[in-house]
Amino acid sequence: MSWTDERIDTLKTMWEAGQTASQIADALGDGVSRNAVIGKAHRLGLQARPSPVKTSEPEAVAPVAAAPAPAPVVAAAPPPPPAPEPVEESETVTAPEPVRAPQPILRSVGPGGFLRQAPGEQQPPIAPAPPRRLVPAKPAPEIAGKTSLLDLNDRICKWPLGHPGEPDFHFCGDKVNPGFPYCVQHCGHAYQAQLPRRDRRPPPPLPFGGPRVR
């Protein structure tokens, strides 16, 4: 699979949202490695993320004895203010725009790179209208610490807890029983000995609506 616009977009969005390269690679699927993600991210110019390997530049650390204090120059220049980007207010009248309250909608990025609809948001599909700035949605507090869709990978248990759409829906997240999508405990739930046909319960309650039929 190549880097289509959508996939690049997913990469950008997730990268800027702080997702790890592994998570992004997972979401993109199609055998994309985290190396591929990282490589692409860098080529795209995305970068500057706290790297575990610190590039401690030889910061010309003045010897302790040599430089006792920073020269008390006349006017001590204050640190350059972060200068929050001024909102581009162009044409339109300076209407206060009271209506548009930017609700922090939490969307998750699906494996195909599409944006999933948030629980309360049934109707309006993705608005193609470009928002001024993409503010990476911070995970809702309910999900904090939980294993979300984006956390899934090959080695953690994908057993769902709760139901999709519920605010605290998440996944087990334990380490998998090697070779299975679930941890040992949930494998016990997922895989059970075959019962005689007549004794079998009608609705096989499989998570996710069951495995893909393909």
Partner DNA sequence: CCCTGATTCGC
Partner DNA sequence: GCGAATCAGG
Minimum CB distance to DNA, residue 196 (Å)? 41
Instruction: Tell me which residue of 50, 25, 28 sits closest to 38, measured CA to CA.
Output: 25
Minimum CB distance to DNA, residue 108 (Å)? 17
Q: Please pick, from the candidates 108, 117, 153, 177, the single residue that binds DNA as defined by CB under 7 A.
A: 153
Residue number with CB closer to DNA (108 or 117): 108
Minimum CB distance to DNA, residue 91 (Å)? 36
Minimum CB distance to DNA, residue 22 (Å)? 3
Residue number with CB closer to DNA (39 or 112): 39
Q: Buried b vs exposed e over 127-158: b needs ≥16 C-beta within 10 Å?
A: eeeeeeeeeeeebbeebeebbbbbbbeeebbb
Q: Count of residues for the chain?
A: 214
Separation between Cα atoms, residue 167 and residue 170, nearest integer Å: 9
Residue number with CB closer to DNA (50 or 209): 50
For residues 3-62, which are near DNA according to CB under 7 A?
3, 20-23, 32-36, 38-43, 47-55
By CB under 7 A, the count of residues binding DNA is: 28
Minimum CB distance to DNA, residue 166 (Å)? 26
CA angle 87, 90, 92 (to 5 degrees): 120
Minimum CB distance to DNA, residue 190 (Å)? 22
Residue number with CB closer to DNA (21 or 157): 21
For residues 55-114, which are near DNA according to CB under 7 A?
55
Residue number with CB closer to DNA (43 or 138): 43
Residue number with CB closer to DNA (54 or 201): 54
Residues that bind DNA (CB under 7 A): 2-3, 20-23, 32-36, 38-43, 47-55, 153, 155
